[in-house]
Structure 1
Amino acid sequence: MFRRSVSIFILPLILLAGCSLPVQSGSVNDQGEWVPDRSIEIIAPAAAGGGWDTTARMLARTIDEEQLADESFGVVNKPGGGGAVAWSYIHKRNDPHNIFVSSPPLHFVYLNGQSPFGYEDFTPIANLIADYGAFAVREDAKWDTLDELFADMREDPESVTVVGVSSPGSMDHIQFMMFADKAGVDIKKIRYVSDQDGGGMTSVLNGSVDVISTGVMDAVDQARAGKMKILGITAPERLEGDEFLETLPTAKEQGIDAEFIVWRGMFGPPDMTDEQLAYYEQAFQKVSESEAFAEVRDMYGWDEQFMNSEEFQVFLDEQYVELEKILIDLGFIDE
């Protein structure tokens, strides 16, 4: 296991987030079922409008409108520290009425030493949806496949510049490195540019950089318009439900044995009982199976990928090991 040091500028925010109301735990009825004693808070670890916030609000809305639980579900935004403030809040309260939505940054922020809390410090409840990454170039770029791109990068890794929104060591960066590594590229020599102002797509279109590592839905509009080519996506299989999306090749079908799932799932505090876990697991399975949430998935281009708590735990363990290895190889963390 590696050693991490938590960034000191994050700590004051984390400590402040721990100050809260006394914990209430609910009760267990005669049927052995947990009964909340107040409404449920889904914590979105970011400001309104982002992926975590949208997922949380769509889940809460589906539960309430479809009457899938006895108690109401509301959303509370707790931004800060890339998610670290919200995770500290949940961990400190240890209240089963407070749960949160998360995705791969739960791994990245912890691994990069920006939070003392990782996925193992919470209770995985269920995963509900999957999104995927995409690697795209300008329409007139010389590469038509990932194999052609990586062939050039194997000869000269520094000849290609990759851009993403994420900071170095985070999602857009690492998803590209995972696939380049599997393709035999020397990932330590790859030039990656972080454009957190969202100008990465423009940089590709004007020729300032060569490749963008992003989400599928972020690249699709430019590809539909004929301005960009999506060389490959990180999904295990081709996407369905849209004629254009079905044309996008996976990296796997191009001979690159890798996949990267941008999951979005639910977590609870560390000391949840079996009854509390069962309450949420069942509620979110109903959400996943509902027609109402199927419409939400279609609206946002999300894939259905329900995993119960046990399945989700296994998945998280496996993804964590993969990400840790890449970050060690790149020198972001010590072995």
Structure 2
Amino acid sequence: MRRRQFFAGGLAVAVCAVGCGTERAPGGAAGLRARFSINPEGRRWARVGQVFAGAARAAGYQLGAGTKVTLTGLPALAAAEVNGRQALLTTTTPLARLSGEVEVVVVSGKSRFRDFEDFGAHLVAKPGQTPLVGGPQGEPDHLLFGLIAKGLGADTRRMDYTGYPSSEEAATALLSGKATAAAGLLADWRPGIGAGRVRALAVSTARRVPDLDTPTLLESGVRVDFADWVAAFGPEAMPDGAREAAIRMCDDVTGSPAWDAACRSEGWISIPLSGEDFELWLSTEVERTRAVLRDLGLLDKP
């Protein structure tokens, strides 16, 4: 099992069912290989599901029936915490982290904030007078601003954040002067950045984006490394044999040239971590995200 380290923000929930079968591995390979059913949890992860399934087939796995593997990500998972659903670690079997999407903090091209330092100083001094926008409350954009405010030492409870259903609506608010800054997926803001309508202040991940001349939050003095990530989960009380087979499939997929090529094409970052390493990482991520949700006033204090 490969072990790689990457820090991202988020938490996850997935509820699956299981049914097992086996199929002899193609090409005369010895042994049996489990069958799997790959199930994206909603339209948001449909493309990841397609890419994952394609890479799994290319690696010789039989799909369509068998052990149900659910792919889900941060938005639905944070919502589950806010809505008081059962905790992830007690309702699923975590298998592997797969990929993530980079988030970016932007301001209008006409903004007086020339860099992240200027913006951060204003957020610390006047959190209630620094209107922020992004996706719905409690989802990744809101979480990112919460982590940024906490990292800067700003009063998170006074932070002025408005969530919108789409990045287009958030962009309209930003460009009309209703907001000081916005956060969202880099892929959604690239057209505006390229056209000069908005200016990128910082990217959320530890490494810079190669074709974007924008510093990371870590470079900007905020100890935050964050991605809108997606992971694979099995059903609760998954048998050991089925779990190991599913983890092996995830490792084979995320270690394949097809997966790496697809991530580059789609603009995703490949952040594989599986098995016990993933479970350990996930437990710390759940606690970190719950803490941010509490700071934002979206969860009751324990």
TM-score class, shorter-chain normalisation, is: 0.7 to 0.9
- The aligned residue for residue 287 of structure 1 is 253
Q: Which runs of 4+ in 1 moved over 4 A?
A: 32-35
Contact in 2 for aligned 1:161/1:209 (Cα 8 Å): yes
For structure 1, list consecutive stretches of 5 or more residues without a partner in the other structure.
1-16, 75-95
Contact in 2 for aligned 1:107/1:119 (Cα 8 Å): no
- The aligned residue for residue 10 of structure 2 is none
1:305 aligned to which of 249, 268, 271: 271
Q: What CA distance in whole angstroms lies between the structure 2 residues aligned with 1:148 and 1:67?
A: 49
Q: What CA distance in whole angstroms lies between the structure 1 residues aligned with 2:214 and 2:138?
A: 26
Contact in 2 for aligned 1:132/1:260 (Cα 8 Å): yes
Identity %: 20
- The aligned residue for residue 251 of structure 1 is 217
Matched, 1:44 2:40: yes
Secondary structure, in 3 states, of the residue corresponding to 2:196?
Answer: coil
* Deviation readout 1:45-77 (Å, 9 max, x if unpaired): 213xx3x1110111112222x1431x1248xxx
Contact in 1 for aligned 2:134/2:164 (Cα 8 Å): yes
The 5 A counterparts of 1:149-298 are 149-166=119-136, 168-198=137-167, 199-240=169-210, 243=211, 245=212, 247-298=213-264
Q: What CA distance in whole angstroms lies between the structure 1 residues aligned with 2:268 and 2:145?
A: 20
- Residue 101 of structure 1: CA displacement? 0.4
Tell me which of the two structures has the higher relative contact order, counting C-alpha pairs closer than 8 angstroms and 6 or more residues apart.
2
- Residue 27 of structure 1: CA displacement? 6.5
- The aligned residue for residue 20 of structure 2 is 25
Q: What CA distance in whole angstroms lies between the structure 2 residues aligned with 1:145 and 1:287?
A: 39
Secondary structure, in 3 states, of the residue corresponding to 1:253?
Answer: coil
Q: What CA distance in whole angstroms lies between the structure 2 residues aligned with 1:221 and 1:275?
A: 46
Q: What CA distance in whole angstroms lies between the structure 2 residues aligned with 1:155 and 1:234?
A: 22
Q: What's the TM-score once normalised by structure 1's chain length?
A: 0.77
* Deviation readout 1:230-269 (Å, 9 max, x if unpaired): 11111012123xx2x3x22101001111221222111101
Secondary structure, in 3 states, of the residue corresponding to 2:182?
Answer: strand
Contact in 1 for aligned 2:151/2:222 (Cα 8 Å): yes
Letter in 2 for 1:72: L
- Residue 331 of structure 1: CA displacement? 2.3
- The aligned residue for residue 59 of structure 1 is 52
Q: What CA distance in whole angstroms lies between the structure 2 residues aligned with 1:119 and 1:206?
A: 43
- The aligned residue for residue 5 of structure 2 is none
- The aligned residue for residue 72 of structure 1 is 63
Q: What's the TM-score once normalised by structure 2's chain length?
A: 0.85
1:100 aligned to which of 56, 70, 78: 70
For structure 2, list consecutive stretches of 5 or more residues without a partner in the other structure.
1-14, 25-29
- The aligned residue for residue 85 of structure 1 is none
* Deviation readout 1:80-117 (Å, 9 max, x if unpaired): xxxxxxxxxxxxxxxx6111001223541232125335
Contact in 2 for aligned 1:34/1:275 (Cα 8 Å): no
Relative to structure 1, is the Cα distance of residues 24 and 237 closer, same or farther in structure 2, using a 3 angstrom cutoff? closer
Contact in 1 for aligned 2:206/2:225 (Cα 8 Å): yes
